[in-house]
Structure 1
Amino acid sequence: MALGRLSGARKHYLLTSQWKTGKTTLLTGLLQGLERGESFLGRPLAPGKALVVSEESTDHWADRLRQMPVGPHVLDDFPPLPRLRDGGGSESGVSCVSPDGSRQ
């Protein structure tokens, strides 16, 4: 798996695939491993924080997090962002989070 060679602190990833292929399940396992500092897919993980940016609604993610809890290290009440393709969306999203993961 390429993730083991690419992963690290302060990195950005894009996880994309067709619907119903296991992206959320994969991400949930990774986030749970980050919270606990446990291994994920046979690779060790240090405890850490994560920010998940998704095109899905806040309500949809709230339902998912109730079904598959990942812990408080994941920002799950992130403010809505402008559409990324409209310019400035990704900049405004990144500017809302400090390097230590806290909200500004």
Structure 2
Amino acid sequence: MLPEQTPQTPGLTGSMSEELQEKIAAELDRIHHDLEQIGVSLCGDMEMAERHCEPLQRLDELGQRSFWLAKLLRTDNPVELINNITLGSLSSRLVG
């Protein structure tokens, strides 16, 4: 395949439909939910939670990122929402 060519996916065009945006947002919601459930389950074991505090915090951050990205896909005003994202590292990457 030449560099200027891209593979075609049936049913997809150059711009993203609202329906596809909602499907992607729903998948991000599922990821957020699953990460939260994993975190809750792992934190139930206090010894494990104490030994693996940093990875558990990372799971939480991943969940927050998926939450905010889903909200961004659903909003009519992404600039305003980016300014309200409570996860500073994500909002910085989105505007920078």
Q: Same fold (TM over 0.5)?
A: no
- Higher radius of gyration, 1 or 2: 2
Class of the TM-score when normalised by the shorter of the 2 chains: 0.3 to 0.5
Higher helix share: 2
TM, length-normalised to structure 2: 0.32
TM, length-normalised to structure 1: 0.30
